[in-house]
């Protein structure tokens, strides 16, 4: 490559685009983030909650929005379209058009005065048109950038030359009707497209009566109805008459898995889960016994913790009915009469007050046009074409994708792909890394030694989340009376970008040297505020939060008086502690730019290769005598790609790569150290020094204990069948009848999860067999077919080829017997009500994927596993490849079962996340760690004995007194609580501070 | 005594029970507003003196809650806390604090419903113990109380 530019363009500011932008920016690349609307956030900003944790969606993306908005290496271009991409990988010239906002962003203070007199009411797209906004508006309350904009198509001034009231009202003189679109050419090394999706519009499907019945809404509309910031503030009512529904029905697969009317044959992957989520939340919001029914074809709860969520929903009384509704008849009272055929073939009629259409995800016409124009290959559903082995690379070199653009997927998969896209998009740009990135210049912290505490207190409304319960003004007035408080005020959203800027100003103006924010949880928002302190030149540890939302307004909504009193107490406790806080120093340590990758399967090898493309060395340790793991046994992917060929190529690349060394027949023996400086001894005696660790230990195929497995030579698992396919087994080729049994060992007590890959594997094997021998009789005995995304195509193909699918109920599992070597499978067909007996030549068991239960390894690196033995990520939605422990990442099946393309994506993602650590030559540690007062220490050694990290030693050079290794101390404080002389103190959690909090609490 | 509202000081570890309380908030699980939370990195940080201090200052109850055994973010801090707690429980009984005033629980960050249940239970048990006067009295007998 002639020229390599160290910048990347990320198009689309949804959660995927944001993650890709942040990973690139944190790895030393300059990022242009292009967003066509007024603000970033995408679809996730519209969601009320996220499955399966029911985390509040806005709460978890808000910190990301702010991080993107304030990142020194992310240039945010809102209202911008991409016109053309010229050039080639390494050196693209991207022509963009920046459309006018008609508001000067540098002047707008987001006060909202402009909206007051605006006479134009427009459907509010953020609330799915359930209410209205003005022609001058802000996309949503927490928007980044938090700047207003004018809707040029609706504004009277811009369309007819009349009005102009906003210009008159704006106190900042920010309105500028004369702004014009501007074109620019940006030079970047690669491009990531994350244009997202638009939900399927059900207007054209008359069956559902969406167009003419107000009781019928889409799931996204319903999501907004559930949202605290939605049109009814979370109150579930029929929008037409504001009546509370007694019975709601969800209709699955609207615009998905439907080739007859919607032309979308694919499964949208997320609708089953979001319907369950909305059902659970709706029941929680209703103060009465709301009846919720979900009409479905197959429940596809295939992700991590999804099956438990589904079971939880059933336990909460949500009813699941397997049927596709054929007629909805509106009733005079606004209700709806459903006509459907039950699973047993009988006609049924049932009335509901509301219907929610679980509409699928589709690619917009605009995205299709863009993809064509940029010369990108697309599949017949208009998703961008990718290979399973390079899941984020598009057909044109240098252009990558993440999120729904390549196929319907949920948030964690999108985030994983986003990090993968960051890795792939920078793989050819390593030589230019850091050339365009700017470095953060945090002002040196002001020395506050000797100054009396001057506490600033900020009380957050959190929109209405806090303010609707707590009397904010009263808390502010109270805060002003507390000792050392110099300044106290309220704020609509403490976390918003404009408030951060405001805080910096106020800290300087009032010379504040301690900050208290009474808002939400420090677990999510403390880092954000600490960064703001640093920007203001204040040591970031001079900060304390009071959690008056999660621990107060949200749980005492019925008791505003006590909630206000509690908020006052909590603020007082925080102020009392804050006044005693001391600035803490952080130490700089070297980062060893090497990775240890544990596991040499497809995940581990891909991680190592992706790290190598950025110039980092890896040691891959594999316990077997060969690399490749489970892929050694697989025949092909769902897209018919040959796995053996791929694996051979991958192994050859790894072998030829000077940055990668593979250690076979070895495992991790002993571990010491921490992020930046791990030391791992392998069982072969090798000592590896590494800065990051990637766990990619894979998983195993479950060995069934039923269905005559192990007792009959023709009862096989999937991997055993694949080996026969690969060997061209003559018996298989000649066989006339096959039975596949699904969910063998999955989705049952003790293993309450879906193994995700088995349905697709079975359907693919069935199709392969049918193509070879069309006369073969093939039966698939299943519970729900879960061929999610575009995989649905091969399920349809299997049915078209004559594969027979028979559902069984878990209470009536198939029975397998043999007489004289001949297999017999007996299954009860719930549709016909009959027992079928099939005599297959081969019985294939879609047996579960089980974790290796690597508890010992987890203990060594201090990372957790969940109850099924999968490694537990830092956050199920937004940090799917990180551990909570710094410098630790994961990839592949050790996280959860997944198909090969998702394994590769996660491996690349792990590399991208690891690079954000490895790229720092030095990193800071310390802060909240223990220190020993040697005047009090008698050298008894209790602290050293209780320290779980061996971070304390008795130092002969210090007269046998205790000393703390700050880099190894994790700040638990056990030493401080165990010393009889109070010699150890945990910085940030000192005795004095905690006593002050206790006193303030009472 | 019917309108007696107990005042309780709670010590939660940041990683588990504090997280459960966060999640209880997200899930809008109602519970009585009678306790005030001191956030600690780990229950291992809990010096028994803090519990004594809370009672001394007139708390009607104290609630300590951390990670489940085996789940400690810092490997073993909660085991240390448990040992101290068992000893302290015997000790405070000896100085006249009813056992119903001091509570210890394990609640993981995913157990919002359990958090709600335990919160209600703790408040009810402390309420049943009535206002905390005995500890103050015991202190006076021993001549330990501060001069007001």
Contacts of B30 in chain A (CB under 8 A): 555-558
pLDDT at B147: 41
CATH at B123: 3.40.50
Give the distance, in angstroms, between the CA of residue B51 and the centroid of all CA atoms in the same chain.
8
Ranges assigned E (strand) in A450-566: 455-460, 485-491, 514-518, 543-546
For residue A552, the distance in angstroms to the closest alpha carbon of chain B comes to 8
Q: Residue A859 is inside which H or E element, if any? A: helix A855-861
In contact, A758 and A742? CB cutoff 8 Å: yes
For residue A295, the distance in angstroms to the closest alpha carbon of chain B comes to 26
Contacts of A522 in chain B (CB under 8 A): 39
Record: fold of A590-698+852-922:
FAD/NAD(P)-binding domain (3.50.50)
In contact, B145 and B136? CB cutoff 8 Å: yes
Nearest residue in chain B measured CA to CA from A992 = B50
Answer whether A53 sits within 8 Å of B37, measured CB to CB. no
Which residues, given as ranges, of chain B have pLDDT below 70?
1-2, 70-71, 135-148
**Residue at B121 is within a domain:** yes
Reported pTM: 0.82
Contacts of A974 in chain B (CB under 8 A): 42, 44-45, 74, 76-77, 80
Q: Which of A56, A991, A1002 sits opposite B59 (nearest CB)?
A: A1002
**Residue at B2 is within a domain:** no
Among A895, A563, A438, A863, smallest CA distance to A699 is for A895
Q: Which of A555, A559, A971 sits opposite B28 (nearest CB)?
A: A555
pLDDT at B140: 60
pLDDT at A990: 95
Residues 6 or more apart whose CB falls under 8 angstroms from that of B43 comprise: B11, B13, B64, B65, B66, B67, B77, B78, B81
Q: Which of A55, A566, A1001 sits opposite B9 (nearest CB)?
A: A1001
Q: Which of residues 119-148 of B touch A (CB under 8 A)?
A: none
Answer whether A973 sits within 8 Å of B42, measured CB to CB. yes
Q: How far is CA A399 from CA A42, A419, A421, A425, A760, in A?
A: 21, 15, 9, 7, 29
Distance (Å, whole) CA A845 – CA A714 = 10
Answer whether B25 sits within 8 Å of A551, measured CB to CB. yes
In contact, A102 and A179? CB cutoff 8 Å: yes
Answer whether A977 sits within 8 Å of B29, measured CB to CB. no
Among B91, B92, B49, smallest CA distance to A981 is for B49
Q: Which of A49, A554, A978 sits opposite B80 (nearest CB)?
A: A978
For residue B68, the distance in angstroms to the closest alpha carbon of chain A comes to 13
Q: Which of A550, A948, A998 sits opposite B22 (nearest CB)?
A: A550
Nearest residue in chain A measured CA to CA from B22 = A550
In contact, A458 and A540? CB cutoff 8 Å: no
Tokens of A756: 């995700």
Contacts of A49 in chain B (CB under 8 A): 26
Among A894, A889, A885, A923, smallest CA distance to A908 is for A889
Q: Which of A946, A978, A997 sits opposite B38 (nearest CB)?
A: A997
Choose the mutation target among B8, B28, B33, B54 for the interface with A, i.e. most A CBs under 10 Å: B33
Tokens of A213: 């019945």
What's the CATH superfamily of A702-848?
FAD/NAD(P)-binding domain (3.50.50.60)
Q: Which CATH architecture has domain A929-986?
A: 2-Layer Sandwich (3.30)
Q: Which CATH architecture has domain A455-582?
A: 3-Layer(aba) Sandwich (3.40)
Record: fold of A1-99+183-197+363-436:
FAD/NAD(P)-binding domain (3.50.50)
Contacts of A884 in chain B (CB under 8 A): 73
Answer whether A977 sits within 8 Å of B38, measured CB to CB. no
Among A271, A94, A97, smallest CA distance to A190 is for A94
Distance (Å, whole) CA A466 – CA A463 = 7
Pairing of strands A677-682, A687-690: antiparallel
Among A731, A693, A979, A980, smallest CA distance to A861 is for A693
Question: What are the extents of the domains in chain A?
Answer: 1-99+183-197+363-436, 100-180, 201-361, 455-582, 590-698+852-922, 702-848, 929-986
pLDDT at A674: 80
Q: Which of B27, B48, B58 sits opposite A54 (nearest CB)?
A: B27
Q: Which CATH architecture has domain A201-361?
A: 3-Layer(bba) Sandwich (3.50)
Answer whether B22 sits within 8 Å of A570, measured CB to CB. no
Answer whether B21 sits within 8 Å of A551, measured CB to CB. yes
Choose the mutation target among B14, B22, B67 for the interface with A, i.e. most A CBs under 10 Å: B22
Answer whether A974 sits within 8 Å of B53, measured CB to CB. no
Host domain of residue B80: 8-142
Beta carbon pairs, A and B, within 8 Å: 143
Answer whether A562 sits within 8 Å of B110, measured CB to CB. no
Q: Which of A573, A864, A971 sits opposite B36 (nearest CB)?
A: A573
Count the neighbouring beta carbons within 10 Å of the beta carbon of residue A468: 15
User: Touching check for B107 and chain A: CB below 8 Å?
Assistant: no
Interface predicted TM-score of the whole assembly (ipTM), two decimals: 0.94
Contacts of B53 in chain A (CB under 8 A): 995, 998-999
Domain total of chain B? 1
Q: Which of A565, A972, A998 sits opposite B45 (nearest CB)?
A: A972
Count the neighbouring beta carbons within 10 Å of the beta carbon of residue A946: 21
**Residue at B117 is within a domain:** yes
For residue B141, the distance in angstroms to the closest alpha carbon of chain A comes to 23
User: Touching check for B87 and chain A: CB below 8 Å?
Assistant: no
**Residue at B20 is within a domain:** yes
For residue B1, the distance in angstroms to the closest alpha carbon of chain A comes to 19
pLDDT digits (tens, 9 = 90+) for A764-807: 999 999 999 999 999 999 999 999 999 999 999 999 999 999 99
Does the fold of domain A590-698+852-922 match that of domain A201-361? yes
Contacts of A524 in chain B (CB under 8 A): 22
The side-by-side arrangement of strands in the sheet containing A677-682 is A668-674, A677-682, A687-690
B1 burial type by CB count under 10 A (0-12 exposed, 13-18 middle, 19+ buried): exposed
Q: Which of residues 38-57 of B touch A (CB under 8 A)?
A: 38-42, 44-50, 53-54, 57
Q: Which of residues 3-22 of B touch A (CB under 8 A)?
A: 7, 9, 14, 18-19, 21-22
Choose the mutation target among B45, B73, B116 for the interface with A, i.e. most A CBs under 10 Å: B45
- Our CA dihedral for A596, A601, A603, A609, rounded to 10 degrees, sits at 60
Which residues, given as ranges, of chain A have pLDDT below 50?
none
CATH C-level class of A100-180: alpha beta
For residue A631, the distance in angstroms to the closest alpha carbon of chain B comes to 33
């Amino acid at each position: 490559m002639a020229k390599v530019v160290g910048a990347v363009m990320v198009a689309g500011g949804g959660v995927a685009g944001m993650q890709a932008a942040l990973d690139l920016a944190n790895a030393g690349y300059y990022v242009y983030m292009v967003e066509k609307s007024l603000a970033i956030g995408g679809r996730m900003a519209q969601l009320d909650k996220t499955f399966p944790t029911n985390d509040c969606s806005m709460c978890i993306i808000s910190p990301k929005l702010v991080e993107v908005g304030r990142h020194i290496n992310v240039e945010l271009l809102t209202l911008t379209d991409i016109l053309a991409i010229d050039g080639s990988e390494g050196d693209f010239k991207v022509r963009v058009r920046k459309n006018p906002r008609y508001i000067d962003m540098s002047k707008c203070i987001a006060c909202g005065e402009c909206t007051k007199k605006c006479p134009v009411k427009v459907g509010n797209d953020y609330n799915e048109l359930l209410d209205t906004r003005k022609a001058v508006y802000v996309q949503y309350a927490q928007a980044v950038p938090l700047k207003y904009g004018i809707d040029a198509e609706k504004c009277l001034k811009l369309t007819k030359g009349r009005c102009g009231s906003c210009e008159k009202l704006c106190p900042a003189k920010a309105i500028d009707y004369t702004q014009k679109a501007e074109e620019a050419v940006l030079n970047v090394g690669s491009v990531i497209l994350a244009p997202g999706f638009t939900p399927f519009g059900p207007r054209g499907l008359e069956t559902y009566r969406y167009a003419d019945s107000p009781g019928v809404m889409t799931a996204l509309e319903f999501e907004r109805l559930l949202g605290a910031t939605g049109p009814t503030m979370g109150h579930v009512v029929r929008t037409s008459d504001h009546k509370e529904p007694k019975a709601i029905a969800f209709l699955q697969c609207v615009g998905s898995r439907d080739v007859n009317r919607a032309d979308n044959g694919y499964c949208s992957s997320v609708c089953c889960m979001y319907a369950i989520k909305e059902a659970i939340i709706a029941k929680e919001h209703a103060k009465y016994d709301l009846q919720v029914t979900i009409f479905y074809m197959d429940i596809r709860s295939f992700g991590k913790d999804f099956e438990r969520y589904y079971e939880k929903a059933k336990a909460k009384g949500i009813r699941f009915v397997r049927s596709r509704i054929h007629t909805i008849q509106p009733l005079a009272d606004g209700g709806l009469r459903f006509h459907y055929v039950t699973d047993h073939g009988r006609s049924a009629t049932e009335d509901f007050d509301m219907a929610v259409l679980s509409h699928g995800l589709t690619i917009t016409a605009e995205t299709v046009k863009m993809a064509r124009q940029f010369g990108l290959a697309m599949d017949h559903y208009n998703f961008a074409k990718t290979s399973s082995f390079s899941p984020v690379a598009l057909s044109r070199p240098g252009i990558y994708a993440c999120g729904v653009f390549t196929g319907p997927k949920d948030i964690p998969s999108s985030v994983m792909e986003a990090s993968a896209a960051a890795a792939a998009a920078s793989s050819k740009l390593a030589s230019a890394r850091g050339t365009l990135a700017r470095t953060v210049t945090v002002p040196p912290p002001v020395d506050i030694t000797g100054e009396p505490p001057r506490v600033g207190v900020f009380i957050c409304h959190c929109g209405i989340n806090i303010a609707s319960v707590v009397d904010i003004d009263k808390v502010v007035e109270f805060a002003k009376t507390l000792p050392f408080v110099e300044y106290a005020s309220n704020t609509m959203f403490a976390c918003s970008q404009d408030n951060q800027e405001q805080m910096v100003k106020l800290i300087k103006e009032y010379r504040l040297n301690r900050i208290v924010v009474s808002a939400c949880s420090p677990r999510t928002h403390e880092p954000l505020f600490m960064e703001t302190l640093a920007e203001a030149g204040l040591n970031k540890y001079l900060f304390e939060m009071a959690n008056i939302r999660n621990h107060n307004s949200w749980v005492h909504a019925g008791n505003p008086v006590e909630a206000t009193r509690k908020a006052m107490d909590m603020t007082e406790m925080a102020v009392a502690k804050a006044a005693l806080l001391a600035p803490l120093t952080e130490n700089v340590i070297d980062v060893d730019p090497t990775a240890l990758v544990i596991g040499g399967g497809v995940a581990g090898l891909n991680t190592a290769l992706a790290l190598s493309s950025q110039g980092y060395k890896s040691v891959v340790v594999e316990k077997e005598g060969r690399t490749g793991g489970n892929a050694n046994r697989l025949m092909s992917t769902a897209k018919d790609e040959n796995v053996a060929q791929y694996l051979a190529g991958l192994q050859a690349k790894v072998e030829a790569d000077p940055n990668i060394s593979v250690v076979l027949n070895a495992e991790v023996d002993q571990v010491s150290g921490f992020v930046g400086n791990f030391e791992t001894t392998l069982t072969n005696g090798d000592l590896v020094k590494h800065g990051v660790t990637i766990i990619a230990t894979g998983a195993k195929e479950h060995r069934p204990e039923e269905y005559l497995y192990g007792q009959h030579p023709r009862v096989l698992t999937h991997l055993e069948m694949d080996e026969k396919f690969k060997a061209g087994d003559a018996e298989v080729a000649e066989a006339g009848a096959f039975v596949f049994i699904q969910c063998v060992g999955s989705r049952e007590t003790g293993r309450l999860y879906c193994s995700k890959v088995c349905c697709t594997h079975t359907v693919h094997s069935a199709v392969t067999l049918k193509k070879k021998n069309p006369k073969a009789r093939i039966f698939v005995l299943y519970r729900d077919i879960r061929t999610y995304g575009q995989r649905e195509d091969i399920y349809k193909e299997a049915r078209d080829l004559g594969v027979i699918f028979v559902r069984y109920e878990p209470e009536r599992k198939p029975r397998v017997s043999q007489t004289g070597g001949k297999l017999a499978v007996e299954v009860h067909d719930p549709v016909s009500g009959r027992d079928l007996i099939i005599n297959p030549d081969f019985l294939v068991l879609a047996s579960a994927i089980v974790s290796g239960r690597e508890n010992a390894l987890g203990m060594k690196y201090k990372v957790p596993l969940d109850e099924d033995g999968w490694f537990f990520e830092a956050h199920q939605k937004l940090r799917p490849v990180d551990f909570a422990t710094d410098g630790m990442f994961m990839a592949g099946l050790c996280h959860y079962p997944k198909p090969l393309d998702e394994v590769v994506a996660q491996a690349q993602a792990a590399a991208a996340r690891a690079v954000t650590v490895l790229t720092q030559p030095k990193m800071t540690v310390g802060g909240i760690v223990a220190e020993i007062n040697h005047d009090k220490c008698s050298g008894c050694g209790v602290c050293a004995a209780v320290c779980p990290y061996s971070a304390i030693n008795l130092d002969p050079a210090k007269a046998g007194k205790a000393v703390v290794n700050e880099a190894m101390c994790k700040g638990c404080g056990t030493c401080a609580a165990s010393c009889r002389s109070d010699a150890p103190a945990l910085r940030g959690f000192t005795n004095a501070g905690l006593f002050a909090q206790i006193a303030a609490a009472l | 005594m019917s309108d007696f509202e107990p005042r309780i000081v709670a010590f939660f570890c940041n990683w588990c029970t504090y997280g459960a309380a966060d999640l209880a908030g997200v899930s809008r699980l109602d519970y009585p507003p009678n306790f005030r939370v001191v956030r600690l990195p780990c229950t291992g940080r809990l010096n028994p003196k803090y519990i004594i201090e809370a009672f001394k200052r007139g708390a009607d109850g104290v609630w300590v809650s951390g990670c489940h055994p085996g789940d400690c973010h810092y490997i073993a801090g909660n085991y240390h806390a448990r040992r101290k707690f068992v000893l302290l429980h015997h000790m405070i009984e000896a100085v006249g604090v009813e056992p119903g005033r001091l509570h210890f629980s394990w609640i993981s960050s995913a157990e919002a419903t359990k958090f709600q249940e335990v919160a209600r239970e703790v408040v009810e048990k402390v309420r049943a113990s009535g206002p905390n006067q005995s500890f103050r009295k015991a202190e006076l007998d021993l001549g330990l109380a501060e001069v007001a």
